[in-house]
Amino acid sequence: MPQFRATAFFDRESAFRDDLRLSWRVVGAILATEVRFMTVAPHDNVHFADQIIARVRELAHPLCVGLDPHLDQIPAAFRRGSMATGDPETAGAVQAFFEEVADRLEKRVAVVKPQIALFEQMGWRGLRALEAVVERCRSRGLMVVLDGKRGDLGSTAEGYAEAYLSAMAPLSVDALTVHPYLGRDSLQPFLDRCESNGRGIFVLVKTSNPGSGDLQDLALSTGPVFAAVASMLAPACDALRGPTTGWSSLGAVVGATYPEQAELIREALPHALFLVPGFGAQGATAEDSVRGFSPGPAGLEGGIVNSSRAILFPRLKNDSWEVGFEAALGEAIDRLGQAIAR
């Protein structure tokens, strides 16, 4: 009997030690997560537009590199498994690729724009990869605009705003794309974070896709729908102007494929940053991409011009992906730099 009690005691002691070691591992993981959040979260209460304009002026070009994981185009050196959306190895391959991209963009561009849908297609692994990629970009000094095109009513919009524009969210970013078609009140949670947390939003106004005119160009009594959206945004845009540059943290998505419309939108929103898609693979020129920009201290300014596929997946002859990437990146920087210097 005494031997049985001793054995039971030692068994309980061993179990206690195992539980204690597990508890310390959990505590360590929590602390590591908190440190990571403090490291990668955007700087609170620093005006988004002031930050991005300062960086664009320093670099002398407005290029934004889109991080779009088109799985069939991921370079061979990074591919793992089948690269199907449900393959557990795919998200790791995407993460490794974009971490390499972030390393190569350090001190060369001001901002990147991950497309969340192309990460979501890989399920929870894809979102985990996106979080790691955002962390890598932040560690390399890159600002992050998340292309999510969010928008909803009431508490749902609050949830979206809290998920991406709050200080301690796991996927906290500098700015988020949103759509306006549920009305002013659907934008308010995002505007609140712009004011309180120094974040930014880019509202869809005139997008670059060929079918954008189906709705955005419809004629109202006051003009096209896109012009009505711009007019609706004007008061909030003025209220969110930065103290240093005068540019607003409420921006507009304005496609480079519609330069004349960009000029009209600039008249309605003189202080809004433009997020300009359509340069590169969609065929718009550098000059068209900056048609909605305004004169600044060192040339045209007032937005960022996105290019994704043309830089990430350059057409290769006999060159390696690294050589093609560097050439495509350098060409985009040069073309946009020349366009804003005119």
In this structure, the number of other CB atoms found within 10 A of the CB of residue 54 comes to 15
- Give the pLDDT confidence score for residue 316 in this predicted structure: 79
CA 44-47-48 angle, 5° bins: 95
Structure tokens at 291: 């048609």
Distance CA 151, CA 202 (A): 12
The catalytic residue among 113, 149, 206, 317 is: 149
Same domain, yes or no, for 3 and 124? no
Global pTM?
A: 0.87
Q: Are 228 and 220 in contact (CB under 8 A)?
A: yes
User: Angle at which helices 225-239 and 259-268 pack, to 10 degrees?
Assistant: 40
Same domain, yes or no, for 31 and 180? no
The question of whether 317 is a catalytic residue gets the answer no
Same domain, yes or no, for 188 and 337? yes
Same domain, yes or no, for 18 and 111? no
Q: Which regions in the chain score pLDDT beneath 50?
A: 1-41
Distance CA 169, CA 161 (A): 10
Same domain, yes or no, for 112 and 18? no
Same domain, yes or no, for 27 and 174? no
Residue 286, domain extent = 43-341
Same domain, yes or no, for 34 and 52? no
- 252's enclosing H/E stretch is strand 248-254
Same domain, yes or no, for 163 and 177? yes
Burial profile 205-243: b = 16 or more Cβ within 10 angstroms, e = fewer: bbbbeeebbeebeeeeeeebbbbbbbebbbebbeebbbe
Same domain, yes or no, for 120 and 163? yes
CA-nearest of 240, 304, 299, 312 to 269 is: 240
Which residue intervals of 198-302 are DSSP H helices?
213-216, 225-239, 259-268, 286-289
- Give the pLDDT confidence score for residue 44 in this predicted structure: 54
- Give the pLDDT confidence score for residue 43 in this predicted structure: 52
Same domain, yes or no, for 152 and 30? no
276 strand-pairing partners: 305
* Count of structural domains, the chain: 2
